[in-house]
Structure 1
Amino acid sequence: MKKNILSFASLCFVVSCSLTSPQTPDKNYNYVIDDAADPHAIVEDGTVYVYPTHDQWKRKFYAFSSRDLVNWQRHGPILDFKDISWLPTKKRPWAPGMIQKDGKYYFYYSAGPMPSYIGVAVSDSPIGRFKDSGAALVKDQNQHKDPAQRQGRRFEAIDPMAYHDPVSGKYYLYTGGSAGSTLRVFELNDDMVSIKREINVETPQNFTEGAFIHYHNGMYHFTYSHGRFNKDSYSIYYSTSKTPVGPWTYRGNLMKSDDKFKGPGHHSIIKNSKTDKWYIVYHRWENVEGKGPYRKPGNPRKTAIEEMFYDENGLIKPIPMTAKGVGKVTF
């Protein structure tokens, strides 16, 4: 990510279709894309691209782009699981991550349910189409039903986040969560489609899934989701470090359910280079009540955006969910 770091659609029979979101920030809600969870966002040449999980488009990934965070265009499918020969059938697309290096775009994706896989596909464009590398990058570990057949720690291969460390120049892949709630970090080879080595890291406090990291003011800010995705306990927590691989200093909760919106989580963070403002792009449940689980037909998770602020010590301030949103913003 790297201009670093950061989902309506009726089906279209072309590679890309233009959509103007009827949701506007001056109404009673601020979500920008419907049926779009786990949004990973990046900024490229004044355009914000978002790569989400969709419930309605099985076995396919789409991208969304906007130059103002209000009007969005859908592109794709940018990757169709039927074109991935090594992937077992019936696997569904989850929680992707995107990064750009030397003019190439690398699309890391989860394929589940368990046993899950993380794959990577490559394109010359942020809106694809992407060609898979031909093999799984990371696989589930120790999911055998018989504990005697499991060795070491339990790990589910989901939620990849690729990161370019601006200090060392190295590229890392952060992944893991849910079953086992285990964080794993790998250094990527120069080709970006293979693993150089695994780095032994601690799993920070309250980590469940959805890892994201960014560097600001001499500090690595590691943010992640905690809890069950379809309950009101789902929330975003925060740790920091002097290195991109820990050790982590726990900083507490950043986003949590309130009376109006539930289950904020699996997010990404982007910076507006024109204004030096920061934004968090996340999913949430709307029009639901109680503790969950939420599975209301016709009311899937939605992607929303909030402005993000740092305090006098350079730490991220707790982020309230709003109905107003950020309005039109140009990058």
Structure 2
Amino acid sequence: MRIRHAIIAAGLGLAVTASGIARNPQFQGADPHAMVIGDELWVFPTGGPGGSWEADRFGAFSSRDLKTWRPRGELIRRDQIGWIKDDGARDHFLWAPGVATRGGKYYLYYSVGPQNPTPSRIGVAVADRPEGPYRDSGRPLITGGDGFEAIDPMVFTDPRSDRSYLYAGGSAGARLRVWELQPDMVTIAREVRVDQPPHFTEGAFLHERNGVYYLSYSHGRWNGPDYSVHYATAPSPTGPWRYRGAILTSDARHQGPGHHSFVRMPDGKWLIVYHRWDRRPGPAPFQGERQVAIDRVTYAPDGTIRPIRMTDADAPVLGSR
């Protein structure tokens, strides 16, 4: 499936079917944030109906079986963000959405850039349903500058403390920053100083399993063969980090996998949802479109994540392995 096919289907009120059962790639897109809502897996990618990677809006897709993807329409458009032109820059693009829920509401965090000539910013919009419509909060939540690029937001709510943390940053400055949010999810309570994890570039994601906190992130150039996913573990959502290594790297058929999310399915299985370039090795920069893929995550008895094998149409994502 390609996003342009999803646009047509959305207009007709039809579902879009990918080939095979839970086989990759799933659809064209990048920076996918995934979460289980009800009995469906939702994916919020960069781009959406009518957009591209340098999008002017966000969309979402959901599936009950990783076979049929239902376009969920338009979440928010660039022209609905009242503060977006306040910096005076000529161009503004939306990318890398992250979604969180609290108190029956949904919160869409997103990057506004590019970084130059003015700093990038992170916004947040609120909705009563995951498909929106989302209403922007009225101001940027975080503004970059001084070597920090405000991109790639991700929010994690700690099941132990019920506190919500915003993780963001990367690329040129390759700097991770973390903030605790107020319960309203649209206001910063305080910044939490954290150590910089080894090999961090961008795209931080945090998940918890059996009391262990896993900080995973992308390393390398987004359109090159060194783009990959590394991770560290910690006893809390803010560290201290213990670097564990790379778990998702280029192979003979796929390049530059990264900007991912982890999601635990209702049956207890863990998946990683990420983007990649479906091509053979070669020099950067890669051209064309990235593809969203989903693969199994397995943990060793000591809690470490085993290296993830990327699959294709000839290898079911949820097969026995």
Q: TM-score, normalised by structure 2?
A: 0.90
Corresponding residue to 2:232 among 225, 239, 251: 239
Residue of structure 1 in register with 2:44 after alignment: 51
Alpha-carbon shift at residue 284 of structure 1 (Å)? 0.3
User: Where does 1:172-183 land on structure 2 (aligned, <5 Å)?
Assistant: 172-183=165-176
Structure 2 SS opposite 1:18: coil
- In structure 1, distance between residues paired with 2:63 and 2:219: 29
| Unpaired segments ≥5 residues, structure 2 | none
- For 1:136 and 1:16, locate their aligned partners in 2 and report how far apart those are by CA, in whole Å: 35
| Alpha-carbon shift at residue 288 of structure 1 (Å) | 4.4
1:134 equivalent among 124, 135, 138: 138
- What is the total number of aligned residue pairs between the two structures? 305
Match for residue 77 of structure 2 among 76, 80, 101: 80
Q: Shift of residue 292 of structure 1?
A: 2.0
Deviations 1:50-87 (A, max 9, x none): 11112627311001111111110112221101111100
| Cα contact 1:9–1:74 (8 A) shared by 2 | no
Name which of 300, 303, 309 aligns with 1:314.
303
CA distance in 1, matches of 2:287, 2:280: 9
3-state SS of 2:172 partner: coil
- Aligned residue for 1:82, secondary structure, equals helix
Shift of 1:13: 9.5
Are residues 1:195 and 2:188 paired?
yes
Q: Which residue of structure 1 lines up, in the alignment, with residue 272 of structure 2? A: 280
SS of alignment partner, residue 151 of structure 2: coil
Q: Give deviations 1:270-328, integer Å, cap 9, x for gaps.
A: 1112x2110000000013431321013xxx10100001000010111110111124159
Could you tell me which runs of 5 or more consecutive residues in structure 1 were left unpaired when the two chains were aligned: 1-6, 143-153
Contact persistence 1:119–1:132 (CA under 8 A): yes
Decide whether the 8 Å contact of 2:227 with 2:258 is kept in 1: yes
Amino acid at match of 1:286: D
Give the drift of 1:179.
1.4
Asked if 1 retains the 8 angstrom alpha-carbon contact of 2:252 and 2:280, the reply is no
What is aligned with 1:326? Answer: 317
Change over 3 Å in CA distance of 1:291–1:25 after alignment to 2: farther
**Conserved 8 A contact 1:21-1:33:** no
Residue of structure 2 equivalent to 1:30: 24
SS in 1 for 2:138: coil
1:111 is matched with which residue? Answer: 112
Taking a change above 3 Å as real, the CA distance of residues 15 and 85 of structure 1, as seen in their structure-2 partners, is farther
Identity %: 45
Contact 2:144 2:150 (8 Å CA) reproduced: yes
Instruction: Report SS of the residue matched to 2:79.
Output: helix
CA change 1:252–1:135 in 2 (3 A) is same
Structure ranking higher on relative contact order (CA contacts 8 Å, 6+ apart) = 1
Q: Secondary structure at the match of 2:24?
A: coil
Q: CA deviation at 1:42?
A: 0.7
Whether the 8 Å CA contact 2:9–2:15 is kept in 1: the answer is no
Paired position in structure 1 for 2:158: 165
Would you say the 8 A contact 2:18–2:69 is kept in 1? no
SS in 1 for 2:36: strand
Q: Is 1:291 the equivalent of 2:283?
A: yes
Q: Residue type of the partner of 2:193?
A: N
Aligned to 1:257: 250
In the alignment, which of 14, 19, 40 is matched to residue 18 of structure 1? Answer: 14
Q: Which amino acid aligns with 2:81?
A: I
Q: Following the alignment from structure 1 to structure 2, what is the Cα–Cα distance between the partners of residues 316 and 327? A: 17
**Aligned match for 1:267, one of 260, 266, 279:** 260
Q: CA RMSD in A?
A: 2.0
Aligned mates of 1:205, 1:170 — CA distance in 2: 25
State the 4+ residue runs in structure 1 displaced beyond 6 angstroms: 13-16
Whether 1:208 and 2:212 are equivalent positions in the alignment is no
1:146 is matched with none
Shift of 1:190: 1.0
- Letter of the 1:285 partner, please give it: W
Q: Is 1:181–1:208's contact at 8 Å kept on the other side of the alignment?
A: yes
Partner of 1:151: none
Q: Which moved more, 1:100-109 or 1:88-97?
A: 88-97
Contact 1:16 1:74 in 2 (8 A): no
Whether contact under 8 Å (1:69, 1:327) holds in the other structure is no
2:221 paired with 1:221? no
